[in-house]
Amino acid sequence: MIKKETCNISTRLARWAEEKPGTPALLEISSGRQKTFQELEHESTLLASGLIRSGMESGTRALIMVPYGIDFVMLTFALFKAGLVPVLIDPGLGRKNVLNCIQQAQPEGMIGIPLAHAVRKFFPTPFKSIKHKVTVGWFPGCKTLGHILDSGKADFKAKNMEENDPAAILFTSGSTGPAKGVLYTHSIFNHQVNILQEQFDIQSDETDLPTFPLFGLFSCGLGMTSVIPDMDSTRPAKVDPENIIGPINRFKVSSSFGSPALWDTVSQYCLENKIKLPTLKRIIMAGAPVSGKLLHRFENIVNADCKIQTPYGATEALPVSLIDRREILDQTWPLSNKGEGTCVGKAIPGVEIKIIAVSDSPILKWKEASPLSTNTVGEIVIKAPWATRTYFNREDLTQLAKIEDGNSFWHRMGDLGRLDEKNRLWFYGRKNQRVITGTETLYTIPCESIFNQHPGVKRSALVGTGNRTKQQPAIIIEPVSPEIIKSPSERKKMTEELLELGAASPVTQPVKKVLFHPEFPVDVRHNAKIFREKLSIWAEKQ
């Protein structure tokens, strides 16, 4: 167990190195490399010591620009041990956004591959705070990872950390507005590891295939063997299905985390090629609403006792609620198809969920909020011991997202929804993507679920055009077949069918405009959240 005198999240790794030293902790498919728990513990200790000996001090923010793999996991645990604060930014955010994030975080250290250091040379301004430079590979003017490893001492002791000491700065995916640096403490990470273990009944003798870096770290903390697939973690929807299916069957993987976009690609391939994944006991699917259509495919892919669970949460508060595939298919999906939102389940033990009247302004004190009754749509706010308290260097955004309540606070999820009579949370979409027509407010998820039932629709996006308080609603369609867009007659036929479908539901009756788009812009992290703001600008021009 975690020693009482320290809250350092890295002690999780030390425990498994002691209990199961020779068990593989990490298997990296692309390189064939692997590390046992003992090797991972030993080498991350040497790195932690070497980083401190190189001049970094406890509390130093260190930007990690290394792809997800063994080196990434080892470095992150080394930074935790040394009391350094890793700064993690999705490279897929695009150059401009990544540079903005770096400028916001003001890191004093940087550990990156040569390409990342080349970017630092070409765009020096955002990197001007950096004093300590380490390269994974070789780059002029940088210490190498090998040099840091060689200079480390094996008897280095992990820094004693208090509950509220900073552990990491994780940037949001920037799917609605600018990416924000979320400040994690060691206490928050420990809470999350405990909750994941309890809620998903994770056992330390399992083999995991996480397709998202943060869950790769959690796997090691939970004592699971982590198989790192050969894929670009910033483009999960474009994954080669064989690169997921092959390792699952080869290593008898029992657990896997991935976005709905990734599992959409993999499940279609499995059905087309009659492939089964019999060793899977658990699939955790998160990052965007998960459709019943996608979940239904797994009936012929996994064993009946395989749990497919979809947690709801955000970088700032993860997890918040949880629902199982069976409950969605048997109970909630038919209601979602009527435009009643997507059910994301009941609150995780330890979480409080409330719905308040929608506001686009800061709410500084809880007494200024207006809680709403059952089945009334409003803004989702949550309270949890593992909710993050602040955005790094962005007091303005912290004020918009947090509501003080005595010694505690509520986090505003930025989402809309309702709580039903069973206390289940139903998600209605992002707050800043609602469409205000002047006579009513339309919500993205309920409206889109009506149009998504057309067999020719891959996905749809509700947007508003014109004045923010008197918008014209439009539904944009990404068709299953691109040929529909090319053929005027097919397009006209499908438009008529969609308008007829919309007119039949009170949820979508105000939508009179249909547009077609070849491929929706989506977030980099899960490739599942639709950038409706970009589509709205595109719709204005049509």
Angle of helix 37-53 relative to helix 70-82, nearest 10 degrees, comes to: 60
Burial group, residue 1, by CB count within 10 angstroms (0-12, 13-18, 19+)? exposed
- Hey, where are the domains in the chain? 13-26+33-185, 201-331, 339-430, 434-541
- Single-letter amino acid, residue 182: V
Which residue's structure tokens are 């609603």?
473
Domain 434-541 CATH class label: alpha beta
Classify domain 339-430 by CATH number. 2.30.38.10
497-507 average pLDDT score = 97
Q: Which CATH number fits domain 201-331: 3.40.50.980, 3.10.20.740, 3.40.50.10320, 1.10.760.10?
A: 3.40.50.980
pLDDT at residue number 212:
87
Per-residue pLDDT tens over the stretch 452-463: 999 999 999 999
301-312 average pLDDT score = 96
Measured in residues, the chain has a length of: 542
- Reading the block at residue 1, the tokens are 């167990």
pLDDT at residue number 289:
87
Percent of the chain with pLDDT over 90: 90
- Single-letter amino acid, residue 420: D
pLDDT at 524 over 90: no
Measure the CA angle with vertex 461, ends 457 and 464; round to 5°. Answer: 140
Q: Which of 116-130, 168-182, 266-280 has the lowest mean pLDDT?
A: 168-182
Average pLDDT, rounded, for the chain? 95
Classify domain 13-26+33-185 by CATH number. 3.40.50.980
- Reading the block at residue 480, the tokens are 């299953």
Cis peptide before 319 (omega within 30 of 0): yes
SS3 for 287-324 is: CCCCCHHHHHHHHHCCCCCCEEEEEEEECCEEEEEEEE
491-500 average pLDDT score = 96
300-324 average pLDDT score = 96
Same fold, 339-430 and 434-541: no
Contact (CB, 8 A) for 451 and 508: yes
Band of the pLDDT at 5, cuts 50, 70, 90? Answer: low
Per-residue pLDDT tens over the stretch 322-359: 999 999 999 999 999 999 999 999 999 999 999 999 99
pLDDT at residue number 472:
96
Closest CA to 246 of 270, 215, 225: 270
pLDDT at residue number 3:
43
Per-residue pLDDT tens over the stretch 378-434: 999 999 999 999 999 999 999 999 999 999 999 999 999 999 999 999 999 999 999
pTM listed for this prediction: 0.95
69-81 average pLDDT score = 97
